[in-house]
Chains A and B, each alone.
Chain A
Amino acid sequence: MSYIVSIGKYVGMMTQVFSKPERFKVYYRRTISEIETIGINSAGIVAILSVFMGAVIALQTASNMDSPLLPKYTIGYITRSSTILEFSPTIISLILAGKVGSNIASEIGTMKVTEQIDALEIMGVNSLSFLVLPKIIAAVFFFPFLIICSMGLSIMGGYYSVTAAGLASHEEFVYGVRAFFKTSDIVYALVKTCVFAFIIVSVSSYFGYYTKGGALDVGKSSTQAVVWSSIVILLANFILTQLILM
């Protein structure tokens, strides 16, 4: 029963988030600022993770290719496919759910318990729209760029790891990366990314906004935000894969 109530509250919250902003100029500036906070500031961790993720995918693929009948370019092909279809959009989004989601939940949660949200409401500001909408726009707009960078870095990580280890040549890996390429895979990955970006921000904002109590409760909300964002991302991933790829 409480889950149904929570879903109802979430839907109610989202209708307020997407109501008409009081001042477009202020919202625009907040969106730019959020792009920096939740987008650009996540670039470093995304880059490091992507490089090592690609390297490990390539090495594991190479180490599992026992049959001499399998061409070496398969390493590049599998690295590219698994990176584009799954690892970059989903795994990086799960990482971002941890970094960005906890940040959003604790920021909004702290504002809630220190009455800053009440102060916004008293002034006549739609606090949900003011706080959450710029974050949603920033994430949905910027996360696809992060994921495209992640794809590139991941394939690059795979390339350097296998070529340095002598498991495949430059030509073999590059041929594999380019083989059987479908543009629709990128579209699928970016659609997933936008959906995940929306989930991360909205679910985390929900837990932050409905925080009650003090500092301890802000911490709890932050944890719940990460857990539930991750669960909803995995669920959405399953549904989107069924809908788009099958």
Chain B
Amino acid sequence: MIEVKNINKSFGENHVLNDFSAQFEAGKVNLIIGQSGQGKSVLAKCIVGLMEVDTGSVLYDDRDFSKMNRKERKEIRTEIGMLFQGSALFDSMTVEENIMFPLKMFTKMSKKEMLARANTCLDRVNLTGQNKLLPAECSGGMQKRVAIARAISMNPKYLFCDEPNSGLDPSTSILIDNLIQEITYEYNMTTVVITHDMNSVIEIGDQIVFIHTGRNWWEGTKEEIIKTDNQEIIDFVYASKFMKTLKGKLA
């Protein structure tokens, strides 16, 4: 479980996160949703330590990450997998080398064992036999799947996904969403997904946190978010004509 306690983050006069607190449970897909510019990505970066919080704490299974030194953080980070918005695959490495990279850096596996692990991860994301492709030769959806394979190669306890569906068509988005959900349940990971895609909310959201003006504005399940009368959430969820029409029909 990841616990975020009263974190604040400012850039000069711009207060991005205001006393934000939330809990992200293990074995669940925890979604952080909100409009652009409300602090979703900053929150994710603060949780994984790419940005330092001004005040507050981030606890990974009761281990206070925000108070750890570089060496201690390094240990926690080997338990974290992250899927970036742009996949962030290493251009100069093949698909296989990308997946094997964390294994090379942090395990004492033989090359044969690393290769076997890479193949297992590729099988898991339905990319069997695509080992020798370069990231530039992969489609957007394939790149995301390779990034997921790389993220799970070290059997992480925590998985972060920053806008996993950005730039993907609806069917590929659903594929990626389902993959994230399946591996979360399979490995009992604490998964945190940053998104503003309502399809993802409905598809995979076990626990949803709505961030607004840098605050934890609302928390609940996907069933509850549909029924809520919170005006900010209504404005966010039913922003498109399609959703408004759907809401009208449902009503």
The interface of chain A, by Cβ under 8 A from chain B, is 22-23, 26, 110, 114-116, 118-119, 121-125
Secondary structure at the B interface, as helix, strand, loop or mixed, is: mixed
Residue B11, interface by CB 8 Å: no
Chain B 123-169 interface residues, beta-carbon cutoff 8 Å to A: 154, 160
Q: For A22, list chain B residues within 8 Å (CB).
A: 105-106
Beta-carbon contact of B105 and A122 below 8 Å: no
Choose from A114, A118, A124 the contact partner of B78 (Cβ within 8 Å): A124
Q: Which of chain A's residues have a CB closer than 8 A to the CB of B101?
A: 123
Closest chain B residue to A116 by CB distance? B88
B5 within 8 A of A: no
Task: Tell yes or no: B56 within 8 A of A by CB.
Answer: no
Q: In the complex, how many angstroms separate the beta carbon of A243 from the nearest chain B beta carbon?
A: 36
Q: Are B105 and A23 in contact (CB under 8 A)?
A: yes
A124 touches B74 (CB 8 A): yes
CB–CB A115/B85 < 8 A: yes
Interface SS majority for chain A: helix
**Are A124 and B106 in contact, CB atoms less than 8 angstroms apart?**
yes
A121 contact set on B, CB distance < 8 A: 49-50, 77
Measured CB to CB, the closest approach of chain A to B81, in angstroms, equals: 8
Chain A residues lying within 8 Å of B104, measured Cβ to Cβ, are: 23, 26
Q: Can you list 15 A-B contacts (CB < 8 A)?
A: A115-B85, A116-B88, A116-B90, A116-B91, A119-B84, A122-B77, A122-B80, A122-B82, A122-B160, A123-B102, A123-B105, A123-B154, A124-B74, A124-B77, A124-B105
In the complex where A123-B77, A124-B75 touch, is A115 in contact with B106 (Cβ < 8 A)? Answer: no
A124 to chain B, nearest CB (A): 4
Distance in Å from the Cβ of B237 to the closest Cβ of chain A?
28
- Whether A118 contacts B84 by the Cβ 8 Å rule is yes
* 7 additional A-B residue pairs with CB within 8 Å, beyond A118-B82, A121-B49, A122-B160: A114-B91, A116-B88, A119-B84, A123-B102, A123-B106, A124-B77, A125-B105
